[in-house]
């Protein structure tokens, strides 16, 4: 009568082959599960990072607007301003687009007024850090425009937008509109749709 040891000895090669197949299948399943788990962990980390940036995002505030030089016929009006990151993470400023426009006292901004291509930048602002940025008016002032603005017969406006990215790469913008006051030589805020942020 054969014992179990006889069967094991007689079929040892088949048992070894079967065990090898089981180990190979187990290894493949383990590799698939590990790969899936690593993808889930990576997605979870990405989601956590995006959520953190959304709640601790950079946020630019613009202020302290100044003319770079006195207005003159034949020259582009230009100004500087300060962008400060009041948010909780890094802001990467990528572009400043701006324009100047001269309007009648009761004049309205043209509908769908485009802001020309601006200056491409690569500025990094940590939380709490600020940077002085320039604008570039569109066209030089004509003799008539310069005289009318300096006499208070027409108004000079600066409009623009600062484009910046957060660490995840989300594009954000903040826009401004400033009216030049002939008498004080200051640039004051003006309530329009050009003052915005998102």
96: Cα separation from own chain's centroid: 12
Q: How long, in residues, is the chain? A: 198
133 pLDDT tier (thresholds 50, 70, 90): very high
Assess whether 13 and 110 both reside in one domain. Answer: no
Least confident of 6-15, 93-102, 121-130, 177-186: 6-15
Assess whether 104 and 168 both reside in one domain. Answer: yes
Instruction: Give the Cα separation of 105 and 128 in Å (integer).
Output: 38
Decide if pLDDT at 37 tops 80: yes
Instruction: Give the Cα separation of 141 and 16 in Å (integer).
Output: 91
Q: Give the per-residue pLDDT at 193.
A: 59
Assess whether 139 and 96 both reside in one domain. Answer: yes
Assess whether 64 and 88 both reside in one domain. Answer: yes
96 pLDDT tier (thresholds 50, 70, 90): very high
Decide if pLDDT at 1 tops 60: no
Kindly report the CATH number assigned to the domain that includes residue 164: 2.60.40.10
Q: Are 62 and 83 in contact (CB under 8 A)?
A: yes
Q: Give the per-residue pLDDT at 95.
A: 92
Assess whether 140 and 184 both reside in one domain. Answer: yes
Assess whether 144 and 50 both reside in one domain. Answer: no
Assess whether 167 and 87 both reside in one domain. Answer: yes
Share of the chain above pLDDT 70, in %: 92
Range of the domain at 126: 60-197
- Main-chain dihedrals φ then ψ at residue 16, nearest 5 degrees: -65, -45
Q: Give the per-residue pLDDT at 111.
A: 74
Assess whether 98 and 37 both reside in one domain. Answer: no
Assess whether 158 and 65 both reside in one domain. Answer: yes
**Average confidence (pLDDT) over 87-94:** 92
**146-176: pLDDT as tens digits:** 999 999 899 998 888 999 998 888 899 998 8
Assess whether 28 and 101 both reside in one domain. Answer: no
Assess whether 15 and 76 both reside in one domain. Answer: no
Q: DSSP readout, 2-70?
A: --HHHHHHHTHHHHHHHHHHHHHHHHHHHHHHHHHHHHHHHHHHHHHHHHHHHHS---EEEEEEEESS-
The number of distinct structural domains making up the chain is 2
Assess whether 12 and 98 both reside in one domain. Answer: no
4 pLDDT tier (thresholds 50, 70, 90): confident
């Amino acid at each position: 009568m054969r014992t179990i040891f006889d069967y094991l000895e007689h079929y040892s090669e088949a048992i070894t082959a079967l065990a090898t197949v089981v180990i190979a299948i187990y290894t493949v399943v383990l590799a698939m599960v590990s790969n899936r788990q690593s993808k889930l962990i990576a997605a979870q980390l990405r989601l956590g990072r995006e959520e953190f940036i959304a709640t601790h995002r950079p946020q630019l505030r613009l202020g302290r607007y100044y003319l770079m030089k006195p207005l003159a016929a034949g020259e582009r009006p230009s100004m500087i301003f300060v962008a400060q990151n009041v948010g909780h993470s890094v802001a990467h400023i990528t572009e400043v687009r701006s324009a100047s426009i001269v309007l009648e006292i009761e004049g309205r901004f043209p509908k769908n007024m485009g802001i020309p291509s601006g200056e491409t930048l690569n500025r990094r602002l940590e939380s709490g850090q600020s940077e002085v940025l320039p604008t570039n008016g569109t066209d030089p002032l004509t003799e008539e425009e310069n005289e009318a603005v300096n006499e208070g017969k027409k108004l000079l406006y600066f409009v623009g937008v600062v484009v910046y990215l957060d660490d995840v790469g989300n594009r954000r913008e903040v826009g401004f509109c400033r009216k030049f006051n002939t008498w004080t030589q200051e640039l004051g805020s003006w309530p329009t749709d050009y003052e915005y942020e998102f």
